[in-house]
A and B are shown apart, each in its own frame.
Chain A
Amino acid sequence: MPRTQTILSRLSIALTLGCLVVALCAADWLQFRGPESNSVSPDAPPPAQWSDTGGIAWKAELPGRGPSSPIVVGDRVVVTCSSGTKQDRLHVLCFDAHSGKPLWERQFWATGRTLSHPSSANAAPTPASDGRLIFAFYSSNDLVCLDLDGNLKWFRGLAHDFPHAGNDVGMSSSPLVIGDVVIVQVECQGDSFASGVDKLTGESRWRIPRPREASWASPTVLRGATPPQDLVLLQSPSQITAHDPASGQQRWAYRVACDGISSAVASEGTVYVPSKGMTALKSSASSEPEVLWNAPMLQPGAASPLIDRRNLFAINRAGVLVCANAADGQIVWRVRLEGEFWGTPVLAGNRLYCISQKGKGQVVQISDDGRRGEIVGGGQLDGTIQCSPAISDGALYVRSDQHLWKIAAP
């Protein structure tokens, strides 16, 4: 009996420690809108207030511009920038997440078109990572793979390969890693395509033609029952399609006018696409998804919608944060925010973090029953902010054209 008790006791301690380790292990924020492309963090929420006198753990200078968002890989924060009179200098920077100390920087020369509207920059797409490798993508359609220590694994110039790929307004679609494939969407009036690139070698696994229309939306993952059943969603101004990420093979298509900037989000087999307001599609094995509902009042602005299990959130062009029931699209509550929003808000716990283009952060607390939302805090950051924040280990990471901040409790 004592022996059994000892074993049970040890097992209990081991389980407790195991749970503790899992609980302490912060989730990485590996790509645009987080690990599930839904802008939701499983981590504890960052502070609800920040200012120059509190809540900001560190602030680092950046050498160039970029609407791209930071990502967090373990204890490293990775950011891209672009600089130069022609925006042809591409930067990848890595910072220590604890101290903000710069760990390394790599620069590259753009091989594609670097022009963009003055409000954007070459470093518009957010980099992605699989936890071991970093994939930095730019408006010039240059795709760089580095390891976590800044060692180059490969470099692709997609516009060098396809010279009519580009958009002088700027391109902003962010790459997505699913399995062993990095998926990029290069949709424009010239050479328009999506491609799956082998993440280890940089070789093309597949390339499929896309409509010759300008699009700024990013690919999204639609999780399957098992990883091999995951699909990638490609949104264009005239359609949204689902593909096998390993082969690019199309699984279904829905021909409809979609937003050119705000990107779809998916949860539990349902795709919420910014189209005619917002349209919910049930993915299926057939060649076309089932339309579940359409909500014209849920039209997002430039920011993408986000979803937790029961609620769908979108910021409209008037700066109103709208919460709707994900099951039927019915609006549950609205909160008027201050400012214009390019960055997609992020959710941790019951808090939504919304940062306006002018750097005004507004934290919206959602009631436990999900029926109400109210602004409970925020803070002001200087400069133009177009990124979507990253959340990891209870910290919020935000970047402007000049700085990268970590907002965290002391």
Chain B
Amino acid sequence: MRRCFYFRGIGLAVGLMAGGLAMAQSADLAPLLKTLRDVDREGKGHRAASQAWAELTRQCDAHQLPAILAAIDGASPLAANWLRAAVDTVAERQMQKQGKMPIAELETFLGQKQHDQRARRLAYEWIARNDSTAPDRLIPRMLDDPSLELRRDAVARVLTAAEQALAAKDDELALTTYRKALQSARDLDQVKVVTEALKKLGHPVDLAHHFGFVQDWQLVGPFDNRQGKGFDTAYPAEAAVDLSANYSAESGTLRWALHHTDDEYGFVDLNKALGKHMAVVAYAVAEFQSDRQQPIELRLGTESANKIWLNGKLLSSAEVYHANGTMDQYVGRGELQPGRNLILLKICQNAQTEAWAQDWKFQLRVCDSTGRAVLATDRAGPRTTEPQTAAKAAQE
């Protein structure tokens, strides 16, 4: 018995020494990691960082990977890439030596959701390359993970299960499983798969509601945008939003007009709403009721030059025409205030005459940083047989 305690004591001492050694090693890495985190625009800090990177990858072993991964937390996008390359280099050398990867330490890092989500995903990928059981062990519990890449893998597994239920003609199970996938899915391609399946099962989804597309707008235009000058001209409609105001323009007196879109992706076609014009500016305003202060993203899709304001603050600006309009193309990050908020968009059309340059439309949604819809508190419920969408469920 005494002998057992004796060995346990030795084990503990060795463990503490090893732990202390690892801490000391991590502490030694700190100046190198700081040098990498200090890289900045225009190549600032590169000379020191290049030496630090070489030293870091020379002296590090795989057990220090969590320390490098943790250094990605809060790092600039530039520094994150220097650190990522160090992680990959150390890990790849470990594998080439056929050495053991510190799976347990990496899994601990993966489990700590406060870390940078790309770093957690990177940790997972090195785990999975060394442990074939990792996807089955780890991914199913990541359906609501803050890492969208990990979440995507988990959703894919649920979709597979739903398809299997469909194949087995168990519609009830398929319905439940697809609904589960819809609650977690954030990527458009996966949402499309789910909604098409649910539609076939007789349960169509209100996509505009699911994604948080704004469907009710006040529109005014057209204002002059010849030679592109309208983009930087603050017309009265922009300078102070007054929905009861009249504006004098070349085409006559302009007034704000209500516009509702039933498009499932929230598109507002300005060619139809305001008439077909070239080299013009339109404004769109939406009121948004929020029950609390909360950070949100205003995600705009349009082929037109645009600006996004929230409560008078400019969040995003892009003077780009006809470059492949896509959902979530431009992101303005802001904060909703409790009560009434005002979203203002400026959507500019240029004078290009090509057939592909005639679109003058936009879609805008309000969501959180993961892409989950944030719905106005006074918004009507979804036009669907679904009991509740992911967004509604999350808000409730």
Give the interface of A toward B (CB within 8 A).
Answer: 84-85, 104-109, 111, 115-117, 142, 144, 150-157, 160-161, 164, 167-170, 188-190, 197-198, 201-204, 214
Whether B324 and A116, one on each chain, are in contact in the complex, defined by CB atoms closer than 8 angstroms, is yes
**Scoring B residues 41 to 60 as 1 if CB is less than 8 Å from chain A, else 0, what string do you get?**
11110110110011001000
Does B318 contact A201, Cβ atoms closer than 8 Å? Answer: no
Residue of A nearest to B186 (CB): A85
By a CB distance below 8 angstroms, the chain A residues around B78 are: 111, 155-157, 160
| Contacting residue for B88 out of A84, A106, A115, A156, CB 8 A | A106
The B48-94 residues at the A interface (CB cut-off 8 A) are 49-50, 53-54, 57, 76-78, 80-82, 84-86, 88-89, 92
Taking CB atoms and an 8 Å cut-off, the chain B residues in 104-129 that contact chain A are: 118
Assess the B43–A203 pair: CB atoms within 8 A.
Answer: yes
A356 to chain B, nearest CB (A): 24
A161 to B42, CA, bound (A): 7
User: B320 and A201: CB pair below 8 A?
Assistant: no
How many B residues face the partner with a CB closer than 8 A? 38
B206 in the interface (beta carbon within 8 A):
no
B149: Cβ under 8 A from any A Cβ: yes
Interface centre among A117, A155, A167 (most CB of B within 10 A): A155
Report A-chain residues with C-beta under 8 Å of the C-beta of B152.
85
Interface residue from A85, A168, A202 paired with B323 (Cβ < 8 Å) = A168
Chain A residues closer than 8 Å to B44, beta-carbon distance: 203
Given contacts A109-B80, A161-B41, contact A152 B320 (CB under 8 A): no
- Given known pairs A168-B320, A189-B321, the reply for A108 and B149 (CB within 8 Å) is no
Binary CB contact string for chain B from 183 to 226 against chain A (1 if under 8 A, 0 otherwise): 00001010000000000000000000000000000000000000
| A202 contacts B326, C-beta separation under 8 Å | no
Tell me the complex Cα distance, A84–B281, Å: 35
Quick one: closest B residue to A153, CB to CB? B50
Q: Report A-chain residues with C-beta under 8 Å of the C-beta of B172.
A: none
18 contacts between A and B (CB under 8 A): A106-B88, A108-B84, A109-B80, A109-B84, A111-B81, A115-B324, A151-B53, A155-B78, A157-B78, A157-B81, A161-B41, A168-B326, A169-B324, A189-B323, A201-B50, A202-B46, A203-B42, A214-B323
| 8 Å CB contact of A155 from B41, B85, B320 | B85
Query: What chain A residues lie within 8 Å of B39 (beta carbons)?
Result: 155
Find chain A residues with CB under 8 A from B323 CB.
Answer: 167-169, 189, 214
Would you call B187 and A85 a contact (CB within 8 A)?
yes
- The answer, among A116, A142, A152, A204, for a CB contact under 8 Å with B43, is A204
Asked whether B319 is an interface residue with its Cβ less than 8 Å from the other chain, the reply is yes
Tell me whether A107 and B41 are in contact in the complex, defined as CB-CB below 8 angstroms, given that A152-B53, A167-B323 are known contacts: no
Query: In the complex, A189 Cα to B228 Cα: how many Å?
Result: 12
User: Per-residue 0/1 for B24-53: is the Cβ within 8 Å of any A Cβ (1 yes, 0 no)?
Assistant: 000000000000000101111011011001
In the complex, what distance in Å separates the CA atom of A188 from the CA atom of B323?
Answer: 10
Chain B residues within 8 Å of A117, by CB: 324
Residues of A within 8 Å of B76, CB to CB, are 160
CB of B358 to closest CB in A, whole Å: 17
Most-contacted residue by chain B among A85, A111, A142, A204 (CB, 10 A):
A85
Per-position 1/0 for B302-322, Cβ under 8 A of A: 000000000000000011110
Check: B246 CB closer than 8 A to any chain A CB: no
Chain B neighbourhood of A203, CB < 8 A: 42-44, 46
CA of A170 to CA of B43, assembled, Å: 24
Q: Which of A144, A198, A201 has the most chain B CB atoms inside 10 A of its CB? A: A201
